[in-house]
Structure 1
Amino acid sequence: MSESNLQVKDLAGVELGSQVCPYDDRDVMLYALAIGAKASELDLVYEKRLRTLPTFLLTLGLWAVWSAGSLGAYDPALTLHVGQKLRMRSKAPTNGELNITANIGAVWDKGTAALVEVNVSSEVFDAMYTIFVPGAGNFGGERGQRSDSALADGPPDVLGSFKTSEVQPALYRLTGDRHPVHIDPGAANALGFEKPIMHGLCTLGSSVLEIARVSGTDPTSLHELTARLSAPVYPGAAVSIEAWESSSNFYFTASDGGGVTALSGTLSFA
């Protein structure tokens, strides 16, 4: 089947090839600053003490998301990133290059939309990006299972917060995610937003960093995470974090100033 005839329902199992993704300490430090690392957090922003935040690696796999969108089955400018998984295989170096392979996994029929799962793998990490494609459902496919939500038991063990900034999406775009919904008012309006929104991966990275700060955990020791990105955060909003801990595993939520849950999930530190 030619790419021009591809439909979303045909994408499951499509191989996206591989790409060598180089990076250096400047990329690692830029990412840390873009998600809100402080100048005093020298392990994250100073080359002489630098360690790599695992969530940085998610920026390296984004080429696969764009590659999936370029197959012609849907318009990537009209999609949204609604889910993320990450599992570390080993510590990430502060510079080097990773050979990343990718494929499209499951495609789920959600009725009015489809969910496309893009998988990437390397010697350092594995990840899955879940992409929401509006108007691409009702093709008779399986709906998929609802994400299991860990139950918060009692009051949260971690309470934190961070303030986003108006310029943060413009800065975070420099890490590689140049989806127009984060910078172009027209693109944001076309997707039903009043103005450009924060990158979900930026809010996720900031949330993981805040949980590590408040719990006294090394943020570079993140081992695994699963997150559902359920609502937008607008630049300038304050984000509140609640997390429940069990043996270095956390169930967490991140909510905007209006109390709307923007993302939730689980994470563990090594």
Structure 2
Amino acid sequence: MPLDPTAAGTRSAPNTSSWRSKDALLYALGVGAGVSDPTGFELEFTTENTKGVEQKALPTMCVVLGGGLGGPDSPLARIGTYNPAMLVHGEQGFTLHKPLPVEATISSVSRIAGIYDKGKAALVVTETEATDTADNQLLFTTTSALFIRGEGGWGGDRGPAGPQKVPEREADHVVTYTTRPDQALLYRLNGDRNPLHSDPSFAAAGGFDTPILHGLCTYGFTGRALLHTLCAGDPARFRAMHGRFSSPVLPGETLDIHIWHGDSGTAQFQTRVGDRVVLDTGTATYH
């Protein structure tokens, strides 16, 4: 059976999950905090017992939290059949409704927000809403766009227009971070154990000379640059972020995050490795 466009709107059952201080520390290290920061060691994100420093969680950590999209009962299991090797994580976004705690328990519900016909591919958009069980208030919303090559062409809705391209003028800020040669081995401890990011033979079968970095790791590096540039390092000021993955990154490569100021509280960004764009048409909002 091919993809079933009528699966749009399918929701998961509530999923309860938790994280603790150690998880926030590990995530921060996984996206380069304390190593690639040229101004210091970001101790508020990388330690929990530094005198005069209160531990905080990086805003982008929300993209690895929650659940409801994995397993046989997930909404993704109901969209029809396809070759998993043809699935590509195309876009990622999130909105924080309040600052992300260092420790919390959440109840999350995921849904298929849309299934669109892109001609040679299908676009499946998912959305997850997470509620903090401590006060029953919405904590964050995450969105993902998954491209499944070879599954389009049924004559369906092509979906909304793509995000606005970044300005053609020079960026207002460029932040440079160098990833570690073992960055993927560290980042995978946040939960994504896909051997594409660790096993050379598996990566070779996928057409890569070496294991590649997780797209969400590049996303986290970029989020740190936005946090320090736009919010003076204060996570309470970070509101939302969205970007489109356009090219893989190899561990050890250097990321240049180009940032353009927009209207009050908005910015656009693009992440590059040299002249190669790896995260494109990015937008961010902040207080």
TM-score by length of 1: 0.89
Aligned partner of 1:43 in structure 2 is: 44
Aligned partner of 2:213 in structure 1 is: 198
The CA deviation at 1:183 is 2.4
Aligned partner of 2:187 in structure 1 is: 172
Aligned partner of 2:273 in structure 1 is: 256
Aligned partner of 2:284 in structure 1 is: 267
**Separation of aligned partners in 1, 2:70 and 2:233:** 29
> Which residue of 107, 116, 119 corresponds with 1:111?
119
The CA deviation at 1:37 is 0.3
Q: Which amino acid aligns with 2:60?
A: T
Secondary structure of the corresponding residue to residue 188 of structure 1: helix
The CA deviation at 1:65 is 5.5
The CA deviation at 1:150 is 4.3
Q: Runs of 5+ in structure 1 lacking a partner?
A: none
Distance 1:115 1:236, change over 3 A: same
Aligned partner of 1:144 in structure 2 is: 159
Aligned partner of 2:11 in structure 1 is: 15
Q: Runs of 5+ in structure 2 lacking a partner?
A: 36-40, 131-137
TM-score by length of 2: 0.84
Verify the 8 A CA contact 1:77 1:179 in the aligned structure 2: no
The CA deviation at 1:201 is 1.1
After superposition, the C-alpha distances for 1:46-96 in whole angstroms (9 at most, x for unaligned) are 114211112101101455266445446234454221101111111111112
Secondary structure of the corresponding residue to residue 64 of structure 1: coil
**Separation of aligned partners in 2, 1:187 and 1:106:** 31
Aligned partner of 2:99 in structure 1 is: 91
**Separation of aligned partners in 2, 1:69 and 1:184:** 26
Secondary structure of the corresponding residue to residue 181 of structure 2: coil
Distance 1:250 1:197, change over 3 A: same
Aligned partner of 2:69 in structure 1 is: 64
**Separation of aligned partners in 2, 1:242 and 1:199:** 20
After superposition, the C-alpha distances for 1:94-137 in whole angstroms (9 at most, x for unaligned) are 11211010111111112222111111002200111111212211
RMSD over aligned CA atoms reads 2.2
Q: Which amino acid aligns with 2:106?
A: L
**Separation of aligned partners in 2, 1:216 and 1:7:** 42
Verify the 8 A CA contact 1:69 1:75 in the aligned structure 2: no
The CA deviation at 1:190 is 4.7
**Separation of aligned partners in 1, 2:67 and 2:86:** 16
Q: Which amino acid aligns with 1:193?
A: F
After superposition, the C-alpha distances for 1:191-248 in whole angstroms (9 at most, x for unaligned) are 4433322111110110121233345622513201111111111111111111111323
Distance 1:146 1:260, change over 3 A: farther
Verify the 8 A CA contact 2:96 2:140 in the aligned structure 1: yes
The CA deviation at 1:263 is 0.6
More displaced stretch, 210-219 vs 92-101: 210-219
Matches within 5 A, 1:93-242: 93-122=101-130, 123-152=138-167, 154-215=169-230, 217-220=232-235, 221-242=237-258
Higher helix share: 1
